[in-house]
Chains A and B, each alone.
Chain A
Amino acid sequence: MIFRIHPGSGVPIYMQIVQQVTHAIESGALRPGEQLPTIRSLAEDLVTNPNTVAKAYRELEYRDVIELRQGIGAFVRANSPAAGQAEAIQKAHRLLAGAVAAMRRLGLSDAAMRRVFEAELTQDREVPEEVTNRR
């Protein structure tokens, strides 16, 4: 499993890691019960702060996506909400294909569509209060 971060994107790096781990589970690249890289090795791979990786793992644990076992490591939860979404993702592809076709008919460029999509997503990408305050 290969993660990539984009430091300049404006999205906090820990959130990028949260999104990518979640996506890896949704797509089956990570399966329930499998172990994630240690905080240190992922930090060194990504060349980012170990605290940032730790924060991402805590957030994933809070979302019930992974389980942190003291002194052993991080594991994908058996009943992780991200797992088994392959079908939903297929559906999402079909939904979006329809929306994209409709937007093309409106004469929108790819770049404009991306902006619209990003803007829609930002609406609920906000981190909930209780998450930012929990440290």
Chain B
Amino acid sequence: MESDQAVMAVHGLRKRLGIVDAVAGLDIAVPHGSICGFLGRNGAGKTTTIKMLMGMMHPDSGGGSIFGESITDKAANVHIRQRVGFVAEVKEFYPFMTVRRMIDFTRAFYPQWQSQWEQRCLKDYELPLEQKAGKLSKGTRSKLALLLAFSRGADLLILDEPTEGLDPVATEVFLEQVVALAAEGRTIFFSSHQLNEVEQVCDRVCLIDQGRTILETDLDELKTRIRKASITFPESVPKGIFDGVEAKGLKVRGRSASLLIDGGREALEARARAAGATSIEFAPVSLKEIFLETVGGRS
């Protein structure tokens, strides 16, 4: 089935920058038609990964493919770039060009240019056509970068912090546009620190930390699996009761304990009951809690 095919896949990607392993063995697979959120703390290796995907940086080892073409092959990279719309972390344009000129200039390079997307973005983002690109605010630069990427008719969009500097109205516009692009059968891979927007539109998430893949899964599946257990004991939380339990974010406060579990609910329940727990509750968890408990506690 086409929809199950990975449009983009990387395996064992590594890149050392100076003395830091910026990317230290990364695996990602993005299925056709999905909207995949690329998450991680500052310095986790997101931008370095994206630069390698775009052929702007060469991995030390490992590799990957986009539309079946190798990302490390210089000749293939030309083909890849024709089918990928890209928004870089640093949104820079020729400073002396006006917005209108910048759009005209970019349009000339892409025969697949989608003028309906150009019109939609101009209207939705209320871009100042006569302003010089060098004078644009951070948010407006993001909007222009999105217009240029979305209008190209690309099958895959790789966006590095596309909502940076956008106000809530423009962010909502961006999310609506991403949904419309996915409905057209395009695949979107974007990095973001806004977990609520990721939670709203993404069907896949890839969470990395210190250059490694921590989680790569369907968002729905993740939310079905992970539960926050809250357990209360009559006197105090027995010492060592959670030893050997696969859990994250264990907190003990007085007579109560809470922890995030990924499966193993029955075993935990049985163990807690045997130790005399008076109340055991399992609640769904937001992506923010999963993020904080998974990568927030590193030293």
Are A51 and B179 touching (Cβ within 8 A)? no
Which residues of the other chain, B, contact A9 by a CB distance below 8 angstroms?
Answer: 284, 286
Contacts A8-B196, A8-B288, A10-B283: A52 and B203 contacting too (C-beta < 8 A)? yes
Q: Is B281 an interface residue (CB 8 A)?
A: yes
Q: Shortest Cβ distance from B148 into chain A, in angstroms?
A: 23
Which residues of the other chain, A, contact B176 by a CB distance below 8 angstroms?
Answer: 44, 47
Which residues of the other chain, B, contact A118 by a CB distance below 8 angstroms?
Answer: 283
Q: Number of contacting residues on A, CB 8 A?
A: 30
Q: Is B199 an interface residue (CB 8 A)?
A: yes
Are A44 and B281 touching (Cβ within 8 A)? no
Q: Is A68 an interface residue (CB 8 A)?
A: no
Which residues of the other chain, B, contact A44 by a CB distance below 8 angstroms?
Answer: 176, 179-180, 183
Are B220 and A119 touching (Cβ within 8 A)? no
Q: Is B170 an interface residue (CB 8 A)?
A: no
- Pairs A-B, 3 closest by C-beta atoms: A10-B284, A12-B220, A7-B200
**Can you name 16 extra interface pairs (CB under 8 A) apart from A10-B284, A12-B221, A50-B183?**
A7-B200, A10-B223, A10-B285, A11-B223, A14-B220, A43-B182, A44-B183, A47-B175, A49-B35, A51-B33, A51-B35, A52-B220, A119-B282, A122-B283, A123-B282, A126-B224
A interface, CB within 8 angstroms of B: 5, 7-15, 39-40, 43-44, 47-52, 55, 115, 118-119, 122-123, 126-127, 132, 135
